Amino acid sequence: MRGEIEAVRNWIKQQSDAGSLDIERLCVVGCGLGATLASMWTAADSNWPPTTTGPQGRQVRALALVSPVWATKGISMSVPFANGALQREIPIMVFAGKADRDAIRLFDQLKRFRPATWFQLRPGQPSEQARDLKEPTDATVIFIQIDTSLTGDKLANDPALHVADQIKTFFTLALNRKPD
């Protein structure tokens, strides 16, 4: 798995070097178990040590997780979320259906890591945000719960739910955010 993630990163880097992509605008999306893998990749990217020729890694600018799976088949979200960049720095959006306990658990943990910069929207409830957060667009952790029983790829791909549009908006905000 790590080799595959590194192969994808190397391909992205080659495309960036060729001018086809801008690696400085790298955002990662994962659904279900893929959300766990996306988190692992983001954590690994933030841990790459600099080389004698300069910095490497630390290119993931935002992370969107759709119906993240907390733990399965020996893979757990607890490993990547022990990483300081995921705890405090990288903007993260979590999408979930109404009964997605793993997503709720992850968001509750992220709220503890970032008590001043979270925002949540749940069906049938008014939006909530950290007490001192001025605007929802300033949040670095966002939780969107949708009134559906869909999860994973089915949730992400349902055209009526507009998940892709919301992820695109989140990434635009994250990429335009000035570093702290």
CA-wise closest residue to 39 among 85, 8, 7 = 85
- 5 within domain boundaries: no
- 3 within domain boundaries: no
Strands 62-66 and 92-97: parallel
- 120 within domain boundaries: yes
For every one of its 180 residues, what pLDDT tens digit does the chain have, with 9 covering 90 and above?
566 777 887 888 889 889 998 888 889 999 998 898 899 889 888 876 655 554 566 788 999 999 998 877 777 888 888 888 889 999 999 999 998 999 999 999 999 999 999 999 999 999 999 999 999 999 999 999 999 999 999 999 999 999 999 999 999 999 998 765
Largest CA-CA distance found in the chain, in angstroms, rounded: 54
- 74 within domain boundaries: yes
What type of residue sits at position 111? K
Helical (H) or strand (E) element with 96: strand 92-97
- 4 within domain boundaries: no
- 10 within domain boundaries: no
| Cα-Cα-Cα-Cα dihedral sign, residues 170, 174, 175, 177 | positive
- The tally of domains found in the chain comes to 1
Quote the pTM value. 0.89
- 41 within domain boundaries: yes
103 SS3 class: helix
- 9 within domain boundaries: no
Domain hosting 132: range is 24-176
